[in-house]
Amino acid sequence: MELNEAQLATRETWSTGDYDALAEYIWSVGADLVQRVGIGPGDAVLDVACGTGNATIPAAQAGATVVGLDLTPALFEAGRRRAAEAGVVIEWVEGDAQDLPYDEGTFDVVLSTFGCMFAPDHQQAANEIARVLKLGGRFGVAAWKPEGTVGQSFARMSPFGPPPPPGFQPPTLWGTREHIKTLFTATGLNLAWEDAAVDFRFESLDAVLDEYSTKFGPMIKLLAAAESSGRGPAARAALRQTFAESNQATDGTVAYPGEYLITLGDKPAT
């Protein structure tokens, strides 16, 4: 696959740090989504922007035939290890959510946990989900809410990075019902929503900062950009502040909710 500049930058970002280690914190989301969508034997499933297999692996465990697609194939190594441990077979495919390498109507189910939200062209990513679904097919997408703790960490840290490209839409718009409605209006898909949250727990605020600044590619990049413009301390303070404000623990540890929106949908059979 030949990559353009934006795709190369995306791959470089998500290859940085140790995404798989961080994925542990949100690992329950994939299995939960698989259950909500109701995946079972006989389903052909595509997990878009699958990372190391958060939704991919539980979908296969449920008996489906599963493809995990991502722009960052470096993540497949951990995915393959996890799949082997789980005793399932996954087809790992390098690809872009905005240009899925499949014919119309290929899949019974399309999933994405905190994945397609990162494709720059939201409309194109939504159109592609709708296109590759069979008539009667279902989809489930989990996306961080803009007002939630994770969403706020992105909002507060983005100004420390380079200016976004023209037409940029924040990924967390996928965490709002209004935006999803707009994206899928022309596709004819039926939509429904559920609110959900992941419980994040850390030993201390220092531990949170340490995890994000050493393992999470996008945050590593933002902190490096801040550092190079002399704003490193301010960026770290902003990140710390975000988690301090959301912290619900009172014993010196850190516990905060990662609020996200689940969009469930189906493509009418006729």
Ligand X SMILES: C[S@@+](CC[C@H](N)C(=O)[O-])C[C@H]1O[C@@H](n2cnc3c(N)ncnc32)[C@H](O)[C@@H]1O
Residue with tokens 């922007």: 49
- Strand ranges (E), 27-170: 44-48, 65-70, 91-94, 107-113, 133-144
| Closer to ligand X by Cβ: residue 98 or 242 | 98
Q: Is 76 in the site for ligand X (CB under 6 A)?
A: no
119 sits near ligand X (criterion: CB under 6 A)? yes
Q: Which of 202, 215, 214 is nearest to 247 (CA)?
A: 202
Q: Which part of the chain contacts ligand X (CB under 6 A), choosing from 49-57, 59-67, 79-87, 258-266?
A: 49-57
Q: Is 79 in the site for ligand X (CB under 6 A)?
A: no
72 lies in the binding site for ligand X (CB under 6 A) = yes
Q: Can you tell me which of 14, 92, 154, 260 binds ligand X, judged by CB under 6 A?
A: 14
The answer to whether 100 contacts ligand X (rule: CB under 6 A) is no
Closer residue to ligand X, CB minimum distance, 17 or 51: 51
- CA dist 202 and 69 (Å) reads 30
Does residue 93 touch ligand X according to CB under 6 A?
Answer: no
- Other C-beta atoms within 10 Å of 10: how many? 22
- Identify whether the C-beta of residue 202 lies closer than 8 Å to the C-beta of residue 254: yes
Closer of 54 and 242 to ligand X (Cβ): 54
Alpha-carbon gap, residue 163 to 161, rounded angstroms: 6
Binding residue for ligand X, selected from 10, 16, 153, 172, defined by CB under 6 A? 10
Tokens of 264: 């469930």
9 versus 224: smaller Cβ distance to ligand X: 9
Contact call for residue 114 and ligand X (CB under 6 A):
yes
A 10 A CB-CB count for 227 gives 14
User: Is residue 78 within 8 Å of 20, Cβ to Cβ?
Assistant: yes
Does 172 engage in binding with ligand X (CB under 6 A)? no
One DSSP character per residue, 2-69 reads: ---HHHHHHHHHHHSB-HHHHHGGGHHHHHHHHHHHT--TT-EEEEET-TTTTTHHHHHHTT-EEEEE
- CB-nearest residue to ligand X: 51
Instruction: Provide the minimum distance between the beta carbon of 223 and ligand X in the complex, in angstroms, as a whole number.
Output: 17
Does residue number 98 form part of the binding site for ligand X (CB under 6 A)? yes
**Residue range at the interface with ligand X (CB under 6 A); choices 57-65, 71-79, 178-186, 255-263:** 71-79
Instruction: State the sign of the Cα–Cα–Cα–Cα dihedral 89, 72, 16, 199.
Output: negative
Which one of 64-72, 80-88, 173-181, 206-214 is the stretch in contact with ligand X (CB under 6 A)?
Answer: 64-72
Does 23 bind ligand X (CB under 6 A)? Our answer is yes
Our finding on whether 139 is near ligand X (CB under 6 A) is no
What does the alpha-carbon distance between residue 83 and residue 129 come to, in Å, rounded to a whole number?
Answer: 24
Among 32, 96, 108, 211, binds ligand X (CB under 6 A): 96
d(Cα 147, Cα 150) in Å, to the nearest integer? 8
Q: Can residue 32 be called a binding residue for ligand X (CB under 6 A)? A: no
**Shorter beta-carbon distance to ligand X: residue 26 or 130:** 26
Q: Which stretches of the chain bind ligand X, using CB under 6 A?
A: 10, 14, 23, 26, 49-51, 54, 70-72, 75, 96-98, 113-115, 118-119
